[in-house]
Amino acid sequence: MSQHPSLSDQVTKLYDLIGGYHATHLLELARELGVWELVTRTPGITADDLATRLGTDPFYTDVLCRTAFAFGFLECEREGWRMAPHYDQILGTPDATFYLGGAARIHMLVGRDYADAPRRFRDGSTFSYQAHDAEVITSVADGLKTLPRIFTDLVLPKLPVLQRRFEEGARVIDVGCGGGWALVHFAEAFPKGRYVGVDNEPRSIELANALIRSRGLEARCEARLVGAERLAEDAAYHIATSFLVVHEIPPRVKAEAFRSIARCLAPGGSFVIYDETYPETDEALRTMPTRFAALAQWFELTWGNRVNTRTELDALCRQAGLRVTTETTFSRFTILVAEKV
């Protein structure tokens, strides 16, 4: 029989959870000051040297480093500091595949929505992602740009049939393309293909087309302003992709969006769903990384978003004439490949 936690245990747990709020701010402050990148480039650097090179207060900098050590972001190295294992990639190398240095800023911006949460809980109103200001739209686009690289570097090798389609020159539609990072990454990684992105958020389309132009990829890439439920082309694509998009499609049109995506696929075409799935057991609700999907549902609740369970995604695929043939995971994400039957 498991022992119940004591009152003291629960108080300690509460403060530990509240500490996450301050860890988020520390992550973003250290990124803005340049701490993570400098420690990554200079393992063993002292707090005094950090302060000198960054132009920051020595005592403040020392406390920041010690607090980052407390949270496990830094490790001691003689008299100085180095990044904890893998955090050199995650926080200190902006062009690394696994860079998540902008994640804390996204959550700080999302946190502004809590000011209106009591009213929205009482009246059931929503404030959609598309209604947020340009700072949120741009930060989210930048913060998610590593997902397509993670997909091609780590996930796609597990899916040889799909990888071969990309390599041979597929026509690809990225549903919910945001700032266009998947489009340009695919175009550069698989130069034989042609790529179209669709999104219902005008500023995202502007960002995507600007990114495409900056990479000189206009001949093979474009981004269009259209919702997933309104795709008009029939059998035009070999592959459809979606990166953290399915849970953002409004529930009232989600089934139609799946049917629309299926229509635009050629026979035997593949729909790649890279998303979170809501936990279906009590244990999964309390276990990382699956718990984060429940957290995503929480902080996107008043956006009108719905994080689907794995069972619900199966049902959405079936009603659209799609059959899930392959499934894998990466961290908190579920990756499904559904083929048009």
Q: What is the pLDDT of residues 75-126, one digit of tens each?
A: 999 899 999 999 999 999 999 999 999 999 999 999 999 999 999 999 999 9
Q: What is the mean pLDDT of residues 60-87?
A: 97
pLDDT, residue 2, reads: 61
Encoded amino acid at 206, one letter: E
Q: Are residues 164 and 27 in the same domain?
A: no
What does the pLDDT average to over 128-149?
92
Helices 251-264 and 310-319, packing angle to 10 deg: 50
CATH of residue 54's domain is 1.10.10.10
254: domain CATH number is: 3.40.50.150
Q: Are residues 19 and 162 in the same domain?
A: no
Last residue of a domain, one of 101, 116, 148: 101
Single pTM value for the model: 0.91
Per-residue model confidence (pLDDT) at position 143: 86
Mean pLDDT across 240-265 = 97
Residue 117 within any structural domain of the chain = no
Of 69, 101, 133, which closes a domain? 101
Q: What percentage of the chain exceeds 70 in pLDDT? A: 99
Measured in degrees and rounded to the nearest 5, phi and psi for residue 87 equal -75, -15
Q: Does one domain contain both 45 and 140?
A: no
Domain assignment present for residue 107? The answer is no
Residues 97 and 223 in one domain: no
In a domain, 288, yes or no: yes
Same domain, 37 and 185: no
Within a domain: residue 2? no
Summary mean pLDDT of the chain:
96
| Same domain membership, residue 252 and residue 215 | yes
DSSP string, 66-88: HHHHHHTSEEEETTEEEEPTTHH
In a domain, 116, yes or no: no
Does a structural domain hold residue 225? yes
Same-domain status, 147 and 276: yes
State the Cα–Cα distance between residues 180 and 170, nearest whole angstrom. 18
- Whether residue 18 is predicted with pLDDT greater than 60 in this model: the reply is yes
In a domain, 274, yes or no: yes
Per the structure, how many domains does the chain have? 2
Domain membership of residue 317 (yes or no) is yes
Q: Are residues 81 and 132 in the same domain?
A: no
- By CB atoms closer than 10 A (0-12, 13-18, 19+), residue 97 is middle
Q: Are residues 188 and 52 in the same domain?
A: no
Residues 73 and 176 in one domain: no
DSSP 113-159: GGGGHHHHHHH-----GGGS-HHHHHHHHHHTTTHHHHIIIIIGGG-
Domain check: are 130 and 67 in the same one?
Answer: no
- Its domain, for residue 158, covers 125-340
Q: Are residues 296 and 254 in the same domain?
A: yes
Least confident window among 119-123, 256-260, 290-294:
290-294
* 194 class by beta-carbon count within 10 Å (0-12 exposed, 13-18 middle, 19+ buried): middle
Last residue of a domain, one of 101, 135, 160: 101
